[in-house]
Chain A
Amino acid sequence: RKEVEQDPGPFNVPEGATVAFNCTYSNSASQSFFWYRQDCRKEPKLLMSVYSSGNEDGRFTAQLNRASQYISLLIRDSKLSDSATYLCVVNGGSNYKLTFGKGTLLTVNP
C-alpha cells in the first residue's frame, strides 16, 4: 500500500461545480495532515491544514477520519482559478518528514 494515495484523476468540472478529493494514508502514527495545491511547473503552496474536527476556509472544507486513515477536500462553487494539482500531504508520525501523494489534477472549465 502506498504511503499516501489519492484519486488518480484528472477531474474536469464546470465552473460552479462542487468537487471532492479523497486521500488515504498508511501510517497510523501520522500526526499532521495538509492539502497543498501545485500549479503547473510551480512549487506547492499550502492550501490548508486538516484537523480532526474538520475545518473550513471559505469554499474549501477539509475532513480527517483517523480511524479510516482518510482525508478529504471539498471545493464548492469552483472557480477557473481553482485549476491546479491538489496534493494530499501527511507528516509521518514521530519524524518531521512530509510524504506527498501523487496529486490529483483539477481543471475547471468555463
Chain B
Amino acid sequence: GAVVSQHPSRVICKSGTSVKIECRSLDFQATTMFWYRQFPKQSLMLMATSNEGSKATYEQGVEKDKFLINHASLTLSTLTVTSAHPEDSSFYICSASSGLAGGHEQYFGPGTRLTVT
C-alpha cells in the first residue's frame, strides 16, 4: 500500500513556458500533500503543503504565483511551474500523508526531473 505516482517523470521545456506536474495517491486518501524540490547533492527542500480543498501553504522564499498548487481531491494534487526559467531546473518530488497532523509518515512519488532550456 501507500503508493504515490507522479507524472511526468521527466520533462524538458523552453524558458517562459509553463509545466504541470501531477501527484496522485493510488491506494489511500491523502488529506495532505507536500511538494519538495531537490537540487543536485542537496537535501530535499519543502516548497509547499496542500490540504484538500484549501489553499496551499508556501515556505518562505517560494513564490506562490510562480508555483501554483491545486489539491482538488483527496487523491490528486498538481504543481504548475509558470514562466519557467533555467534556474527552475530541478527534481520535483511530491509526497502524501493520510493524516492531518504531524507524526505520520510521508510516502513519496517517484519525482519529476524538470529541465528548462
Contact = CB atoms under 8 A, between A and B. Distances in A.
Report the interface size class on chain A: 20 to 34
A25 interface: no
A43 B102 contact: no
A46 B96 CA distance: 12
A26 B42 CA distance: 19
Contact of B44 (A34, A44, A46): A44
Contacts of A96: 32, 49, 97, 99-104
Contact of A42 (B44, B46, B101, B110): B110
B81 interface: no
Nearest to B4: A43
Contacts of A76: none
A65 to B, nearest CB: 19
Interface residues of B, number: 24
A94 interface: yes
A54 interface: no
B67 interface: no
The interface centre, meaning the residue of A43, A92, A102 with most chain B CB atoms within 10 A of its CB, is A43
A55 B49 CA distance: 30
A91 interface: yes
Given A31-B103, A32-B102, A96-B102, A43 B108 contact: yes
Given A91-B102, A92-B102, 18 more contacts: A31-B102, A32-B102, A32-B103, A41-B91, A44-B44, A44-B93, A46-B106, A87-B44, A91-B103, A96-B101, A97-B34, A97-B46, A98-B46, A98-B106, A100-B44, A101-B43, A102-B43, A103-B43
Interface of B: 32, 34, 42-44, 46, 49, 91, 93, 97, 99-111, 113
Per CB-CB distance, the 5 closest pairs between chain A and chain B, nearest first, are: A43-B108, A96-B102, A32-B103, A102-B43, A100-B43
